[in-house]
Chains A and B, each alone.
Chain A
Amino acid sequence: MNERDNSITTRDLCLWYGKFQALINVTINIRHGLITSLIGPSGCGKTTLLRCFNRINERYGYVTTTGEIKLLNKNIYDPDVSLIELRKSVGMVFQRPNPLPISVYENVVFGLRIHSDRKPARSELDDAVEKALTEVGLWNDLRDRLDTKATNLQLEQQQKLCIARLLPLKPEIILMDEPCSALDVEATRAIEELMLSLKGRYSIVIVTHNMAQARRASDECIFMLLGEIIEHARTADLFLNPKNPKTAEYIEGRYG
């Protein structure tokens, strides 16, 4: 496989919360332009792993990380890496929709505002809002309500907005941490469709508890257990012919 096909690679990644080791020698290659899902029972470290990729784990002082994470062939723990630039190119969607308590418009342009040195022109912002909202399918619903406070939208719209606000920054990778767990069936379907439509332009890594979702919406699957990677394969292979007996037991629902 060509080096350039990988958007995220980790080598011997270990992570401790205080004395508790949450990730043990994680070595993976996540391929560019695909949707990769991280599955595994609660507490297996999938969210922790995801939160390593934009280094947002470091908010908590008691986290120690060793090993190597390369995003687009750049080690993100190099001292010359700017956290701001890293997070600009790696967007994140959270478990509970967390639009900021400002207008829809301001949510979408938040990234542009904080990342541009000069004050962005109004027309530039307007274009970005229309483009991003169109891409996530909110433009028709919200075009007349751009001044509404984003926290007053329906949950589904909020989550779509949370995806939309990443797009003006042109991220390479979008990380999603159980993006549908707060949503109902219809909204879940909508978000999954959105993910599929974004695929190709962005590499998407999604943590999910919902195995059916992993199966429906992802190209590759990574199965984790107790901080270790057990199996990484194409989704169809992993669900039909799991190589590791632990994977087989999990997807059959014996634990988790």
Chain B
Amino acid sequence: MISRRRRYEILSERSIETLIYLCGISAIIFVFGICFFVFREGLPLVFKEDTNFSLGKFFFSTEWFPTSMANKRYGALALIVGTLTVTILAMVIAVPFALGATVFLSEFCGGKFRETLKIVIELLAAIPSIVWGFIGLTVINPLIIQVFHVPVGLNALNGAVILALMAMPIMVSIGEDALKAVPDSYREAALALGATRWQMVFRVLLPAAKNGLLAAVLLGVGRAVGETMGVLMATGHAVNIPFFRDDGSFNWGWMFESVRTLTATIAAELGETSQGSDHYRVLFLIGVLLLSITFVINLTADLVVKGIRKQK
């Protein structure tokens, strides 16, 4: 005889299901909420009349004088270039290291050493960005001055080194997953044909895992673009396109120029603005720009990873 479920059992089951459902979709709600909020604060400026702001100037002018009394100017080009410079330089530094670390972790070391190394790399990810900022100020700054004989150590290179260190852990852990996902049978096939381990890595594993590795790099880029506190303290915070000298010639020492990033600008200036002012809104517009950049990067990384799954 099958006994009937009691009424409150059915009810409690339902309510738990609803609760879990809400938890599940809360992430979506929050993301949409944040997007809505940032857009709501930033966008009105685009459509506002009688203002010095124009989208053309925002993207193509380097004149960032949002607090000028006589003539406020909102040109974010130098900030965009600053973010790109620091991010790309950071990736140039980080990718080879991260790739090496990934290959070493997944193919060349084993047992306890690997586990220890993984924990340490994850610890690297747990260091607060403000602490990285300290390191930029007090360790890397004098180091750059000494090694390269430049007057200022707070510059694009300093920020890039910090970002590289911050973005490495995520790149290593995603990259290691990508290498782990390569079937062991490929390794055995290559080894049984007499390949050395290096040949196996270069000719078989890296090509087979290239999508996953690319996704790892993209996520690292996303991390680097959005990073604020560390670069705020390390890059010198000067609105400046580092590639040109005053006379217009190319500046070969560009990586020793101080720059300022989009994120650092928001962090440094938002507290000083009055709510609803043009300056306030333009900072939110920068937020919209950042959000779009990281959204595109993450989406690309996601599609790349999906691409791997389909292949299998």
Binding site for B on A (CB under 8 A): 54, 56, 59, 61, 83-88, 91-92, 94, 96, 98-102, 110-111, 113-115, 162, 165-166, 169
Please, which residues of chain A bring their CB within 8 A of the CB of B195? Answer: 84, 110, 114
**Is B190 part of the binding interface, using a Cβ–Cβ cutoff of 8 Å?**
yes
CB distance from A122 to the nearest CB of B (A): 18
Complex contact B185–A94 (CB within 8 A) = yes
Please, which residues of chain A bring their CB within 8 A of the CB of B188? Answer: 56, 59, 92, 94, 98
Please, which residues of chain B bring their CB within 8 A of the CB of A59? Answer: 187-188, 191
Complex contact A100–B191 (CB within 8 A) = no
Jot down 12 A-B pairs with beta carbons below 8 A, ordered by A: A61-B111, A83-B194, A84-B194, A88-B194, A91-B193, A94-B189, A98-B185, A110-B190, A110-B203, A114-B195, A114-B196, A114-B203
Complex contact B193–A87 (CB within 8 A) = yes
**Is B26 part of the binding interface, using a Cβ–Cβ cutoff of 8 Å?**
no
Please, which residues of chain A bring their CB within 8 A of the CB of B196? Answer: 84, 114
Q: Which of A61, A101, A102, A111 contacts B194 (CB 8 A)?
A: A111
Binding site for A on B (CB under 8 A): 110-111, 183, 185-196, 199, 203-204, 207-208
Other contacts beyond A94-B192, A110-B190, A165-B193: 10, CB < 8 A? A54-B192, A87-B193, A88-B193, A88-B194, A92-B192, A98-B188, A102-B207, A114-B194, A114-B195, A115-B194
Complex contact A166–B189 (CB within 8 A) = no
**A86 to B195 alpha-carbon distance, docked (Å):** 11
Chain A residue at minimum C-beta to C-beta distance from B182: A101
**A88 to B194 alpha-carbon distance, docked (Å):** 5
Please, which residues of chain B bring their CB within 8 A of the CB of A86? Answer: 194
Known contacts A59-B188, A61-B111; decide if A169 and B193 are in contact (CB<8 Å): yes
Complex contact B194–A87 (CB within 8 A) = yes
Q: Which of A54, A99, A115, A169 contacts B189 (CB 8 A)?
A: A99
Please, which residues of chain B bring their CB within 8 A of the CB of A87? Answer: 191-194
Please, which residues of chain A bring their CB within 8 A of the CB of B193? Answer: 87-88, 91, 110-111, 114, 165-166, 169
Complex contact B191–A91 (CB within 8 A) = no
CB distance from B193 to the nearest CB of A (A): 5
Chain B residue at minimum C-beta to C-beta distance from A83: B194
Chain B residue at minimum C-beta to C-beta distance from A92: B192
Please, which residues of chain B bring their CB within 8 A of the CB of A101? Answer: 186, 207-208
Please, which residues of chain B bring their CB within 8 A of the CB of A169? Answer: 193-194
Chain B residue at minimum C-beta to C-beta distance from A84: B194
**A68 to B191 alpha-carbon distance, docked (Å):** 22
Please, which residues of chain A bring their CB within 8 A of the CB of B199? Answer: 114
Please, which residues of chain B bring their CB within 8 A of the CB of A84? Answer: 194-196
Which of B187, B192, B193 has the most chain A CB within a 10 Å cutoff?
B193
Complex contact B194–A100 (CB within 8 A) = no
Known contacts A100-B190, A162-B189; decide if A61 and B110 are in contact (CB<8 Å): yes
